[in-house]
Amino acid sequence: MMRMESLAALPAIKELRDKILFTLGVIFLYRLGTHIPLPGVNAHALLEYFRTALQGTAFEIYDIFAGGALSRASVFGVGIMPYISASIIMQLMATSVPSVERMQKEGEHGRRKINQWTRYLTILVAAIQSIGVTIFLSNLVTPTGVRVVPDPNFGFYLSTIVGLVGGTMLLMWMGEQITAYGIGNGISVIIFAGTLETLPGELVNTIRLVRTGAVSPMALLFAVAVMGLLTVATVAITQAQRRLPIQYAKRVVGTRMYGGQSTYLPLTVNTAGVIPIIFAQSIMMFPQTIFTFARFPFLESAKAWVDRFFVPASLPYDIVYALLIIVFAYMYTSVVINPRDLADNLQRYGGFIPGIRPGEKTAEYIDRILARIILPGAIFFALVAVIPSHLMKWTHVPIYYGGTRLLIIVGVALELIQRMEAHLVMHQYEGLIRRGKIRGWRG
């Protein structure tokens, strides 16, 4: 938590104050953009359809990351997810395509080239998703018989696709501006702002349920206490790391001696961030999404089985959901961290882990440590993902603060605190945390 004296010092630092104000200004423009509707769409009919027919589907998750822009048929309806998808694809290519891997190791020139390819790929992904969203909107009819798009002509298709792609590219640019001139990683900040969009209304709805007697005050207090403890535990696990000791050998260059110092290699428990839960949740909601739109007679029996047994807070759902989170945690960590590259870099600069031979043995040792520390972290985040649904089932309190949103809020908040702490330390103010620095969120 931020100390009051440190908080009071923030306005006194002009550079930090300007960065915070710039970030807030961009967030305001983003929130304004999520309310600019696409032409030719009946926004009220679409919102009605989302509230009735799309509960528990992948579209509901996507709408959370889009800050409610999809349910409002906004120009930001596709959101920033195409850029995230493109970044993940480029990370996968860096581990499997030799030319991209070599480019990644070329320093600043290679990084700029990969960023340029990521932008081009973002346009392609955004175009594909925009076409899908446009077709999806044009075919929607609410349960009351109202068409979401009254006149789905060629002009509607063209303007909607161009508007959605342009909105995604504008969001990508806004995220880059926050990264360059604001506080924190711009893409993370935009997602963070989007996930908080519905929070005020959800709190008002919960209070209304308590006042009407639909939820007991004791049940609400219990739910708040459990979610508070879960948040504290998430903060602790997000900061947890295994520090591998690194020793650099002494070497003589000219008349000077370099090296000989000791440091450590930090391996975080939550290297994959929120990505495993996002992937797992999308897969878990895929069957329900298919059954929502594919109404074929031969699927009726499968739909009845899914509706009965494969729902949140049921044993089959929780087991499969938890296993997917653990599997994706290992898969994405293998993409983000390459033990062979770490071992090669240590050997190149004369570093080694005491007691471990450089090269292949060091890579095997790092890989073995990663496999051990990822499992408890993945199990914990699987619990974070399934506990809210059980808590809502037991207490009847609507839990909006689910696992995905919790990890995003905690991760981005820690990253923002880290950036502000760095500015405070630079200006000789006491840091935000007594012991050590807070590491930012990766994901």
CA distance 101 to 16: 36
At 433 the pLDDT is 46
pLDDT of 436 strictly over 60: no
Highest mean pLDDT range out of 67-81, 389-403, 425-439?
67-81
pLDDT of 259 strictly over 60: no
Q: Are 169 and 122 in contact (CB under 8 A)?
A: yes
Could you please report the per-residue DSSP string of 369-416? Answer: HHHHHHHHHHHHHHHHHHHHHHHHHHH-----S-HHHHHHHHHHHHHH
CA distance 143 to 153: 23
Percentage with pLDDT > 90 across the chain = 9
CA distance 388 to 393: 9
- Averaged pLDDT for residues 55-77: 75
Q: Mention every residue, 6+ apart, whose C-beta is less than 8 A from residue 238.
A: 269, 270, 407, 410, 411, 414, 441
> Which residue blocks in 242-359 are alpha helix, DSSP H?
275-293, 300-309, 315-336, 339-348
Give the CATH superfamily of 215-401.
SecY subunit domain (1.10.3370.10)
Q: Select the more confidently predicted residue: 289 or 78.
A: 78
CA distance 291 to 287: 6
SS3 268: strand
Query: β-pairing, 351-352 with 241-248?
Result: antiparallel
Do 1-197 and 215-401 share a fold?
yes
pLDDT of 438 strictly over 60: no
Q: How confident is the model at residue 251 (pLDDT cuts 50, 70, 90)?
A: low
pLDDT of 57 strictly over 70: no
At 288 the pLDDT is 67
Q: Could you read off the pLDDT of 305-335 as tens digits, one per residue?
A: 666 666 777 788 888 888 998 998 888 888 7
Structure tokens at 312: 């949140």
**Average pLDDT over the chain, rounded to whole?**
80
Q: Select the more confidently predicted residue: 324 or 62.
A: 324
Residue 160 Cα distances to 80, 153, 156, 392, angstroms: 17, 11, 6, 38
Which has the closest alpha carbon to 197: 69, 76, 75?
A: 69
Q: How confident is the model at residue 289 (pLDDT cuts 50, 70, 90)?
A: low
pLDDT of 344 strictly over 80: yes
Can you state the percent helix, strand and coil of the chain, rounding each to 5? 70, 5, 25
Structure tokens at 156: 């509607």
3-state secondary structure 147-213: ECCCCCCHHHHHHHHHHHHHHHHHHHHHHHHHHHHCCCCHHHHHHHHHHCCCHHHHHHHHHHHHHHC
What fold characterizes domain 1-197? Preprotein translocase SecY subunit (1.10.3370)
pLDDT of 192 strictly over 90: no
CA angle 426, 430, 436 (to 5 degrees): 90
Q: Are 258 and 251 in contact (CB under 8 A)?
A: yes
Domain spans of the chain, in order of start? 1-197, 215-401
Q: Are 400 and 246 in contact (CB under 8 A)?
A: no
Q: Are 299 and 291 in contact (CB under 8 A)?
A: yes
